[in-house]
């Protein structure tokens, strides 16, 4: 199968359905990256945090649906990406479902979803990205988690400190 080259990244020429799904997938993925980071950086529980979180969740739905379409078309090439995407989507749903009752699970789920989203991006595109192309393949799998999970742990610890009444 031939491929197209867009900005140095080879795009499989797997037909118009694949390319349409990929176009939506890229736009939704960018929305996830921007809204996920924005939600993480805004005041928790505030209207902006909730709005960014909802857009992140619906964008992750679009990412997952388009990933499923593209994986059905190119299963052998995409099975590992489908696994990463499935875990990311499941984590987002878990985090969103626990946003009120279990805030630590909310933080962990949404954070893990974001880390897995970035992992999928780097695993698929890292070999074609400036600087990332010099890293060993294992870095695409591990670096998002090595950066993300300490930040998630810090956010959970901070939330717990803020919820604990001060001792006199």
Angle (deg, nearest 10), helices 137-163 and 103-125: 160
The boundaries of the domain holding residue 121 are 3-163
Tell me the pLDDT tens digit for each residue of 17-45.
999 999 999 999 999 999 999 999 998 88
46 within some domain: yes
Quote the percentage of the chain above a pLDDT of 90: 73
| Burial environment of residue 70 by CB neighbours within 10 A (0 to 12, 13 to 18, 19 or more) | buried
11 forms bridges with which residues in the sheet?
4
Q: What is the pLDDT of residue 128?
A: 85
127 within some domain: yes
- How many contiguous H segments (helices) and E segments (strands) does the chain have? 5, 2
CA distance 122 to 144: 9
Q: What is the pLDDT of residue 13?
A: 78
137 within some domain: yes
Q: What is the pLDDT of residue 1?
A: 58
Across the chain, what does the average pLDDT equal?
91
Q: Is the pLDDT assigned to residue 9 strictly greater than 80?
A: no
Mean pLDDT of 107-116: 96
57 within some domain: yes
Q: How many CB atoms lie within 10 A of CB 95?
A: 24
Question: Alpha-carbon torsion 49, 24, 137, 91, what sign?
Answer: positive
Tell me the pLDDT tens digit for each residue of 113-167.
999 999 999 999 888 888 888 999 999 999 999 999 999 999 999 988 888 776 6
pTM: 0.89
Q: What is the pLDDT of residue 166?
A: 63
With contact defined as beta carbons under 8 Å apart, do 120 and 84 qualify? yes
DSSP secondary structure string, 71-114?
HHHSHHHHHHHHHHHHHHHHHHHHHHHTTTT-HHHHHHHHHHHH
168 within some domain: no
Give the total number of structural domains in the chain: 1
Task: Return all residues near 104 (Cβ < 8 A) that are at least 6 apart.
Answer: 156, 159, 160
């Amino acid at each position: 199968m031939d491929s197209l080259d867009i900005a140095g990244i080879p795009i499989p020429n797997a037909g118009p359905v694949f390319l349409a799904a990929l176009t939506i997938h890229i736009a939704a993925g960018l929305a996830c990256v921007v809204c996920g980071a924005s939600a993480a950086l805004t005041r928790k529980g505030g209207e902006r945090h909730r709005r960014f979180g909802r857009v992140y969740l619906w964008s992750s739905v679009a990412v997952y649906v388009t990933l499923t379409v593209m994986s059905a078309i190119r299963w052998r090439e995409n099975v590992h990406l489908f696994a990463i995407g499935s875990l990311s989507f499941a984590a987002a749903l878990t985090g969103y479902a626990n946003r009120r009752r279990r805030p630590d699970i909310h933080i962990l789920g949404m954070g893990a979803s974001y880390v897995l989203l970035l992992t999928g991006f780097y695993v698929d595109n890292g070999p074609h990205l400036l600087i990332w192309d010099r890293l060993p393949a294992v870095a695409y799998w591990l670096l998002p988690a090595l950066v993300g999970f300490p930040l998630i742990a810090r956010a959970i610890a901070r939330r717990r400190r803020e919820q604990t009444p001060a001792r006199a």
